[in-house]
Amino acid sequence: MQSFREEPVTNVHLSDIRVDPQADETVATFLTLSMENPTTNARTIVVDFIINTPDRLGVVRQRGVTESNLAQVTATGRIEPGSQRSMRVGLEVLDDSIVGGSVPINVTVRYYPADQPEDVKYVQDLQKSNERIIVSKPGILNETMAWLDSVLEGLL
């Protein structure tokens, strides 16, 4: 049985995310999940976005989040036909040992018609995918500024 005339459109922006370990909260790198329910559908969608918090990275900002704890960030919402819902999570580096490496990330996106919760669909099996967040090394400007600060501290 087909629940929708047109399948909802999902955007997952996770690949090749680069986190600058020296970034502060105002320039946090965001992971973004969104879903749009096409106007051709006559049914409302209930969607769950779930991001398991990556090891050695912390969540510093959130938008569109329903619940959050140290292990997981989730957003649940209804999407009327012709509407969209999204979740954004900003990350910071908690452990400098991962700088220059990457960490795995597990994400689940599931949805169902609001009037038929037993008809759950998964957008893709992101839990078994090999998505990774790349933790970039500081840029040359950041390294130069850090060196200059240490030299100036030594002179004062």
Q: What is the DSSP letter of 155?
A: H
**What pLDDT digit, counting tens, does each position of 113-126 carry?**
999 999 998 876 55
Nearest-angstrom CA–CA distance, 118 and 59: 32
**What pLDDT digit, counting tens, does each position of 93-104 carry?**
888 888 888 888
Beta strands across the sheet bearing 9-13: 9-13, 29-36, 84-93, 57-63
Q: Among 1.20.1250.20, 2.60.40.10, 3.20.20.70, 2.70.150.10, name the CATH number for the domain at 9-155.
A: 2.60.40.10
**What pLDDT digit, counting tens, does each position of 19-47 carry?**
766 665 445 567 888 999 999 999 999 99
Nearest-angstrom CA–CA distance, 156 and 152: 6
Query: pTM of the entire structure?
Result: 0.76
